[in-house]
Chain A
Amino acid sequence: EDKVVQSPLSLVVHEGDTVTLNCSYEVTNFRSLLWYKQEKKAPTFLFMLTSSGIEKKSGRLSSILDKKELSSILNITATQTGDSAIYLCAVERGSTLGRLYFGRGTQLTVWP
């Protein structure tokens, strides 16, 4: 059975801290891995990763994929209260194009 597992499930930090969120997957015919940020209801797209070892960066956020370890990490440096959200990891398989398999998410809370 295909699985996407995120850890930790929840994390509480103070402003200015750096956090690392983890996503591991066990799927057949892997195609891409995506990270989303979910505040309230609508997930918003952060990154799409398809190749191992290539870091994607946007401001204080960065992510990298390790196909050998079947995992990805999302790093957030100098956290701010506005980073508080659920961070979702999803995987797309080549045999089921379009369909995303999501993990349960990591609930990040940043205290001032």
Chain B
Amino acid sequence: GAGVSQTPSNKVTEKGKYVELRCDPISGHTALYWYRQSLGQGPEFLIYFQGTGAADDSGLPNDRFFAVRPEGSVSTLKIQRTERGDSAVYLCASSLSAGGYNEQFFGPGTRLTVL
């Protein structure tokens, strides 16, 4: 595609529910990143994939958060037992690869609201 796309654009859920957020990177980009941005803050790193494998998942806040990229393209961020503190904009980015001074291109984000 022309750019990084994310679905849904908005998601409202109730505390305790499970949610999945999807990211479709730019075609040909092997690296994919997830960030979370709370109001008034800069994006905070969660996890990144090089191909199908998670190269760095040290930003995931706890074991309720999990992400997959089974075919090296689309990625899904999964959040179990959502809490009100999970409310934020979840941004996905992709780049040609990690480590080659390649800029990251961001998608429009998914605004998650946990009631």
Contact = CB atoms under 8 A, between A and B. Distances in A.
Interface of A: 4, 32, 34, 36, 40-45, 48, 50, 88, 90, 96-105
Contacts of B105: 45
Nearest to A32: B101
Interface stretch (B12-20, B39-47, B74-82): B39-47
Given A44-B106, A48-B101, A48-B103, A98 B50 contact: yes
Contact of B59 (A36, A88, A99, A105): A99
Contacts of B89: 41
A42 B98 CA distance: 20
A58 B45 CA distance: 27
Contacts of A101: 45
B109 interface: yes
Given A41-B91, A98-B50, A50 B103 contact: no
B53 to A, nearest CB: 12
**Nearest 8 interchain pairs by C-beta:** A102-B42, A98-B98, A41-B109, A97-B99, A45-B103, A42-B108, A43-B106, A98-B48
